[in-house]
Chain A
């Protein structure tokens, strides 16, 4: 599908309709049930003029990029810029940056912003951005208001630049002092235009969307 005057982001084999530029999506589900694979599938560039920048707080940038190439499939998902705040110091490529501690949202955000701008100045018109995942940031921060401001700033920039932002959360993951990840996911959902839920049911991986596809709120099987 070619991009028309209105920027759209296509998700390949994932059964979710293409979304307009400026859309931010929350993806929630179990880490061991395909969350990472779904995240990378949504983030993978579908067109030559798309670029990808991501923040990884779960894994180091090398394994993040391996997972991205694997999930994105042949011909999709070229070089991506990564801000690594996982604490794993192995930096993958020149497009990557490291922040020692996920609690340093100031540095994570500025590095992320700078990488996005570099791609834009290099001629990338359409940018897919992502965060895998928000749980370690919650666990590391003292105040949820910092996390809200961090997310709002990225969703705001995404809308301003006609981009796509995909944010992953495992509601069962450790969020430190903040306890129940289910409540955090339910709250954060309100910062996003759409929500994709993932589950494993009877050996099948299924997704359900809210706010994205009209009438597509039923569980659908997905192959990741």
Chain B
């Protein structure tokens, strides 16, 4: 897997996971302390964390907690000989990690295979994935072209949609592998949000338009601090399916109060979403044709 980088945190560097992973060609960065590893996480993009449990300056679970705060989709593996019964989880009850025993004969090979698999298939994300996620991401990647500047257009359609439905916020969002990127907005100035924090992450799983009349009544979002801190109370989203049938994102409405939508309004929202994705696709095709002719 090209471009992959794994942070290996182990107080005994030479006997740690980095040696095993380097041996099978997986690039690593290393740290022998919790503080050093946190600094690495802050300075460097890593695709996976492999950590011992016990360090002189803390616990490997502190590192996992740090990852979940800063890059929540990053898979984490506790690679240790400390039995699970001796691992203190009191302060870390919601942390999901892969647990692997370090001292087993084939531990290095198994670690390498697990690291690659968890990265490739997004094995520890805090949301549900569409069945065709790999194909969906490949379809989305087709829109990542130099010169594909659609900011003004996406802001404009967001304004039109916001006025039509009389809501304070509307946006065009693309749901990428780990983030939702906002192509254009009206009423807010968002750039991107972690995918696990966004409602559109759930919308792309649906075949119909999705409505959340009050997020404080919805089990998926009622404790989502990001949404609550943005003041979001209600949501309606229509998927943008390109001509190959892949959902690349959603056109959405936000209100700061609970709100209901009629079937007619949702049908209109879907028409706007269809129009938006057609515009986007046409722009992509024109740009690609220009590049090809040069």
Contact = CB atoms under 8 A, between A and B. Distances in A.
Nearest to A116: B99
A179 B217 contact: yes
Nearest to B68: A149
Interface stretch (A12-20, A31-39, A55-63, A101-109): A101-109
Interface in B83-124: 83-85, 87, 89, 92-101, 104, 113-114, 117-118, 121-124
Contact of A156 (B83, B124, B223): B124
A178 B124 CA distance: 22
* Interface-central residue, A146, A156, A177, A184, by most chain B CB under 10 Å: A156
A149 B96 contact: yes
Nearest to A83: B84
Nearest to A180: B219
Contact of B128 (A153, A180, A187): A187
A167 B215 CA distance: 27
Prevailing SS type, chain A contact patch: helix
Contacts of B222: 177-178
Given A106-B95, A142-B94, 13 more contacts: A105-B94, A114-B84, A117-B99, A138-B219, A143-B223, A144-B219, A144-B220, A146-B96, A148-B127, A152-B122, A152-B125, A190-B131, A190-B205
B244 to A, nearest CB: 21
B101 A117 contact: yes
Contacts of A101: 93
Contact of A153 (B87, B89, B123): B123
28 contacts: A104-B93, A106-B92, A106-B97, A109-B99, A110-B78, A110-B97, A111-B84, A113-B99, A113-B100, A114-B99, A117-B101, A143-B94, A143-B223, A144-B219, A145-B126, A146-B94, A148-B125, A148-B128, A149-B125, A149-B126, A150-B96, A156-B124, A157-B98, A157-B123, A175-B219, A177-B219, A188-B128, A191-B128
